[in-house]
Amino acid sequence: MKRPDPLPLSTRVLRSLAVARMVLVIYAGYKCLQLLGAVTGRNRDADYYDNQHLRSARLIRRTAVRLQGLLIKACQFAGSRADVLPPQYVEVLSELQDRVPPKDFELMRPWIEDQLGRRLDEAFSDIDPMPVAAASLAQVYKAQSKDGRTFAVKVQYPEIERVIATDLANFSFFIKLLAKLEPRFDLRLLLIEVKKYIPLELDFVNEAENARKFAANFDNDPAVIVPIPIPELCCRTVLTMNYIEGIKISDLPALEAAGIDKHEVAELLTHTYIWQILVHGFFHGDPHPGNLLVRPGPQLVLLDLGLAKEFTPQLRAGIVKLTRAIVMSDAPSIGEAFRELGFETRTGSDDTFLTLAEVVLGQALKARKAYADMSMVERMSKELMAALRENPIVRASSDLLLVLRVMGLLSGIGKQLDSKVDPMSAMLPFLDTTA
């Protein structure tokens, strides 16, 4: 399929300027406070930057809502990282996980009918014009079928493919320029990954197939629920599924009101993703709170399954080998596993791999915590950046990078749920540590 053309050059320039202005305003705000605090000594106060955090988060949200596209995707990720970001950012940006201002139904109705190839009154007995959720790429309506079933109808925004193509073109320019100016901050590998996975999220036929695979994998586990697609009411831009009620996993007051123990939810979440990654070899690649619902039991509902990855048997074995090596603190095996997974450092030595392993999983195992705290993240980030400067990674496995993204999102949710899960105990049953 032909890739969509970006929006006109003038629009590209305006979008770039809007993001540049946002970054400049935020940077200037923090810099002024930093200088003022150094003079007054107030920068040692725990709440010194709180107002600036809130102002910055609100500016990011306003800019994202105005521009839509990849900036909202970035906000969804940031709003999930309660383990590394100040609470002001998490509170404000998490709103964009499922509460983006929706498109008007009068605009969406002809688009849906055109995509499905039939009038709405032919497809459904009723459809609520007010979306139940709206996010970065699509919004979801509640509808009734002709035979009385309740459906969720997920509809891609008109023009969203061109918006995404525009953002990718802009990001490509700036990332390539940064790589030339600052070779140690070469983010082109991440750009390749974004370009690889975004089209999957824009293909609802792919998402429907993923949903069927997840449903089959968890067929014997009543604690994990996946909405089932309705084939005759699906196409590349419209996905119709059975409607499932649930509580957003990060809505702690609602969980408490429903009598659901947040610690049990954290345990269920951890075990569900261990099964996906280490056993099924097929995992949900975008577990931000807007895509995870909880029902009494507890039960976990997996939504928005466009970004999913299936490992080959060899790759799954490599992931298990790497995890086992980190659990056993086996340095030679850690380096060997990274190389077998397609990673390579500039010098060929393993020092950067060992630091990366410590950042990704080793520190959590030692602390016996399912999420990182701020001080831990700051310390390990400094060590990782130093290692990358000395001996950068020049080749990496895209599959493992997606796993690392998932682990970051789960760490943020674990912090919000105050997870008591011991990751070592949770993973050991899935690893042959005698091998």
User: Is residue 174 included in any domain, yes or no?
Assistant: yes
Residues 337 and 370 in one domain: yes
User: Is residue 3 included in any domain, yes or no?
Assistant: no
User: Is residue 1 included in any domain, yes or no?
Assistant: no
Location of structure tokens 């600052």? 182
As a whole number of angstroms, the distance between CA 3 and CA 234 comes to: 21
Q: pTM for this one?
A: 0.84
Residues 30 and 109 in one domain: no
Domain endpoint, select from 217, 244, 271: 244
Q: What is the CA radius of gyration of the chain?
A: 22
Location of structure tokens 């509902």? 301
Domain endpoint, select from 244, 262, 293: 244
Is the distance from CB of 260 to CB of 424 less than 8 angstroms?
A: no
Cis preceding-peptide flag for 8 (omega within 30 of 0) = no
Structural domain boundaries enclosing 219:
101-134+137-244
The distance of Cα 420 from the centroid of its chain, to the nearest Å, equals: 22
Q: Which two tokens stand for residue 32?
A: 């002024």
- Give 431's Cβ-side CA count (13 Å radius): 21
As a whole number of angstroms, the distance between CA 208 and CA 183 comes to: 40
**What tens digit of pLDDT does each residue of 120-162 get?**
999 999 999 999 999 889 999 999 999 999 999 999 999 899 8
Domain endpoint, select from 225, 244, 263: 244
Q: Among all residues, which ones are annotated catalytic?
A: 286
Among the listed residues 236, 217, 239, 237, the one whose alpha carbon sits nearest the alpha carbon of residue 226: 217
Is the distance from CB of 223 to CB of 298 less than 8 angstroms?
A: yes
Residues 169 and 301 in one domain: no
Residue 291 in this model has a pLDDT that exceeds 90? yes
Instruction: Look at phi and psi of residue 281 and say left if phi exceeds 0, alpha if psi is from -120 to 50, else beta.
Output: left
**What tens digit of pLDDT does each residue of 159-185 get?**
899 898 888 888 787 777 766 765 655
**What tens digit of pLDDT does each residue of 193-246 get?**
677 778 888 999 999 999 999 999 999 999 999 999 999 999 999 999 999 999
Residues 88 and 209 in one domain: no
Domain count, the chain: 3
